[in-house]
Amino acid sequence: MINLTRGVPPVEVFPIEELIKASEKNLREDGKRVLQYLHAPGYPPLIEYLAKKHGVRKEEVVLGNSSLELLQFVTLTEMKPGDCAYIESPSYDRANTLLKRSGADVVGIPLEIDGVNLDILEKELKKRPPKLFYIIPDFQNPMGTTTCAEKRKQIAKWAEEYDFLVVEDAPYRELRYHGTAIPSIRSFAPDHVVTLSSFSKTLAPGLRTGYLYGREDIVKRITAWEVDTYIGSVTPTQGQVYEYLNQGFFEPNLNKLCDLYRPRLDTLLNSLDKYLPNAVYPRPEGGFFVGVTLPEGNSMEKLLPAAADAGFKLTDGRGFYLNPQDGDRFLRIPFCSLSPEEISNAIQSLAKIIVH
């Protein structure tokens, strides 16, 4: 069975020895603090480290048990049921679910190869501006696309003009295998953007250590929400992550990850070019995914059972769209957990059951 469903790091990349060292050092030196109740916003040394890394004040950072949880808290503190929220279409299925669950009227803005379609966005803004716009600007999940600098600037300008909050979710930003980084949306409108990230993709998802940075009043509201909900997020892993960063393990590990994932991405793109030349897909420069729109004549209804018979587990592309039918020919292909050889074989075999 070839699993092309989950966008998770392969288990062999977890730096277990370094994490043991980091945890031991932190527990020995600061165990009394990390094992006691610690009120939100989280473990102060990690907050200070992240504030410095991202060029913000420590009052502008809050930690949480994963970035998904922080996304939920943003929807709970910054929106009311019945408010409007925008999301790229397609987008991360769990973000779609969280926005809908918050009671928002969720509007999908079609995603192009370099970010959302600005003409459609402008039309929607004129009809009903949102309270919140959730965007994954770098190596988007599920598409793999990156929002270009011009679109980031324009979205930031509109956020100021129409007074909405952009939630910029950037867990893949540092996993860049080609090209150069683009300034964050937040850099163009710091008062109207909060940035979410976590150590799930760059270190290990089981740590469930996420963070948000942005305007102090928003950070304060999320902090108060955390205190009321569970006092504070889980601290021993925050201490472990802090020591891991502080001891200089992060950068070399990130380079190792990029070196491992780069040929996997390149092989996937080459295999798609070769075996599925009529499919439409972006050429991501990083991240975990390539989003593929299959030629006409394909449908999830037919493809999923055929793929299962051929030994593949695929994600139903309809789950990434607010209107599921829009994803009827959409396939998200995660490439990080498979070797180049496995990727090439997988696409070659998959092409045999795809109409092209």
Ligand X SMILES: Cc1ncc(COP(=O)(O)O)c(C=O)c1O
The contact set with ligand X (CB under 6 A) reads 7, 66-68, 92, 136, 141, 169, 171, 198, 200, 205, 210
- Kindly tell me which of 7 and 232 has the beta carbon lying closer to ligand X: 7
Tell me the residue number closest to ligand X, measured at CB.
198
Nearest distance from residue 68's CB to ligand X, in Å?
3
- Kindly tell me which of 71 and 354 has the beta carbon lying closer to ligand X: 71
Nearest distance from residue 67's CB to ligand X, in Å?
4
Provide CB contacts within 8 A for 219, sequence distance 6+: 41, 59, 60, 61, 62, 212, 213
- Kindly tell me which of 140 and 298 has the beta carbon lying closer to ligand X: 140
* Tokens coding 42: 């989280």
Nearest distance from residue 278's CB to ligand X, in Å?
28
Nearest distance from residue 210's CB to ligand X, in Å?
4
Q: What one-character DSSP code corresponds to residue 2?
A: E
Nearest distance from residue 128's CB to ligand X, in Å?
25
- Kindly tell me which of 99 and 276 has the beta carbon lying closer to ligand X: 99
Nearest distance from residue 317's CB to ligand X, in Å?
15
Q: State how far the alpha carbon of 88 is from the alpha carbons of 128, 200, 271, in Å.
A: 16, 22, 27
Nearest distance from residue 136's CB to ligand X, in Å?
5
Amino acid at 204: A
The residue to which tokens 């867990």 are assigned: 171
Q: Looking at the chain, which runs of residues are DSSP E strands? A: 2-4, 61-65, 84-89, 105-112, 115-116, 132-135, 165-169, 193-198, 209-213, 289-293, 312-314, 330-334
- Kindly tell me which of 69 and 243 has the beta carbon lying closer to ligand X: 69
Q: Is 49 exposed, middle or buried (0-12, 13-18, 19+ CB in 10 A)?
A: middle
- Kindly tell me which of 66 and 184 has the beta carbon lying closer to ligand X: 66
DSSP reduced 3-state for 10: coil
Contact 311, 195 (CB under 8 A): no
CA distance 68 to 281: 27
- Kindly tell me which of 198 and 337 has the beta carbon lying closer to ligand X: 198
- Kindly tell me which of 31 and 110 has the beta carbon lying closer to ligand X: 110
Nearest distance from residue 295's CB to ligand X, in Å?
26
String of DSSP letters for 164-196: -EEEEE-TTTT-B-SS-----SGGG-TTSEEEE
CA distance 86 to 92: 13
